[in-house]
Structure 1
């Protein structure tokens, strides 16, 4: 075990999670009126609509897959009939399909933000950083799923990464579980933790501003005014 392992797999995750929680509280108390994403739709709609649709349709199943793969022990999956073969189909084939959709959407959104002058002028430094970091995380995740798993078929992240991840919430993470994890997985994890630390200070806070009350509210009726 190197001197960096205890920091990366024990200290660093808690730093990121602490900044995530405290940062959200601080921003909500000091910057409520900017608790949203600045829209650039009036500047350009076509690429935004296509990229945003692909990204959001893909990222939700991807997040659910991560929650299942990291949060649910392998023994529990097998107890309900999800054996290794079925899990592999879901994680690799179905997960990759949604991963590619997410990646395509993120590529389009990032290309739009960096190459269109009007959109770039409306973007802050944090907007640029978030776009690049998300694109990097998704790309490395796809590489880990398709390439690393193919080159190292004996590696099972559910016996290493998943166990370590669950231990974080029990406040007893074992850094030793992460020593032999492939580099691409380590990069994906550390970058993913970093996005949690940056979250409260970027446009990502708009995730918590989804107007769920719209689902149950009464319809607004518009009637054409007729002159008498």
Structure 2
């Protein structure tokens, strides 16, 4: 029953909460649909933390797409062996995960250490960072513990289970042999998506396409005559 709930029921519950929460948030809180930038309060830590986190996350996301969504036979057809794939995944995944985690730690430290930012932070701001830290730590731990040449091949278990969710045929039996760290990472990731609509993370769903056709904002230096007039 636990496996049935975790690997069949829970993912769809999260999906319902995610979609419903996003729709509700958009309908009732469009003003809050923003990152609530705190750049005016502190810039240096934000620049380093945000850059590390987002650039590392790009490669982490790419690695998840390659390992989870692309079936193993595709790699076999391209002549990529399991050993080669494993080395590539570790070689790119570990550095990307570390960089992204460093950025996230900087952002979290900035959030709680800078007094002006801490006072303007909401519970959802801290909650989002805590969930992101848990997801990043469990994911990086699972990758590091899987460095050995005979490492666990998640493409034979997690990948087909996850793809089965898309056509409503997930097989929980595939998850029985999955190591604990991988399971913790998956559960924490789904939990993150459950709280996603109720935090500032919703800004990731928005693409500022209006900026492409928006008129430039013109700034003019105030002249001496204007100063005298004032």
Q: Same fold (TM over 0.5)?
A: yes
What SS does structure 2 have at the residue aligned with 1:163? helix
Distance between the aligned counterparts of 1:216 and 1:85, measured in 2?
48
What SS does structure 2 have at the residue aligned with 1:181? coil
Pair 1:53–1:122, CA change in 2 (3 A): same
Structural RMSD (CA): 2.2
Residue 36 in structure 1 maps to residue 30 in structure 2 = no
- The offset of 1:171, in angstroms, is 0.3
- The offset of 1:129, in angstroms, is 1.0
Distance between the aligned counterparts of 2:72 and 2:32, measured in 1?
42
- The offset of 1:89, in angstroms, is 2.6
Equivalent of residue 206 in structure 2, options 200, 206, 209: 209
- The offset of 1:219, in angstroms, is 6.6
Q: TM-score, normalised by structure 2?
A: 0.90
Distance between the aligned counterparts of 1:213 and 1:59, measured in 2?
25
Q: Could you report, residue by residue, the CA deviation over 1:116-166 in whole angstroms, capped at 9, with x for unpaired residues? A: 22111111111111101101111111110012x146935211100111000
Residue 187 in structure 1 maps to residue 184 in structure 2 = yes
- The offset of 1:64, in angstroms, is 1.5
Partner of 1:69: 67
Partner of 1:126: 124
Partner of 1:57: 55
Query: What is the count of residue pairs matched by the alignment?
Result: 225
Equivalent of residue 95 in structure 1, options 93, 96, 99: 93
Q: Could you report, residue by residue, the CA deviation over 1:29-63 in whole angstroms, capped at 9, with x for unpaired residues? A: 11112111112111111101110011011101111
Partner of 1:169: 166
Residue 200 in structure 1 maps to residue 197 in structure 2 = yes
Pair 1:65–1:43, CA change in 2 (3 A): same
Query: Larger radius of gyration, structure 1 or 2?
Result: 2
Q: Could you report, residue by residue, the CA deviation over 1:93-112 in whole angstroms, capped at 9, with x for unpaired residues? A: 11111111100000101111
Partner of 2:11: 13
Pair 1:150–1:224, CA change in 2 (3 A): closer
Distance between the aligned counterparts of 1:199 and 1:223, measured in 2?
40
Pair 1:225–1:102, CA change in 2 (3 A): same
- The offset of 1:82, in angstroms, is 2.7
Q: Could you report, residue by residue, the CA deviation over 1:167-189 in whole angstroms, capped at 9, with x for unpaired residues? A: 01110111111111111000000
Q: TM-score, normalised by structure 1?
A: 0.90
Partner of 1:85: 83
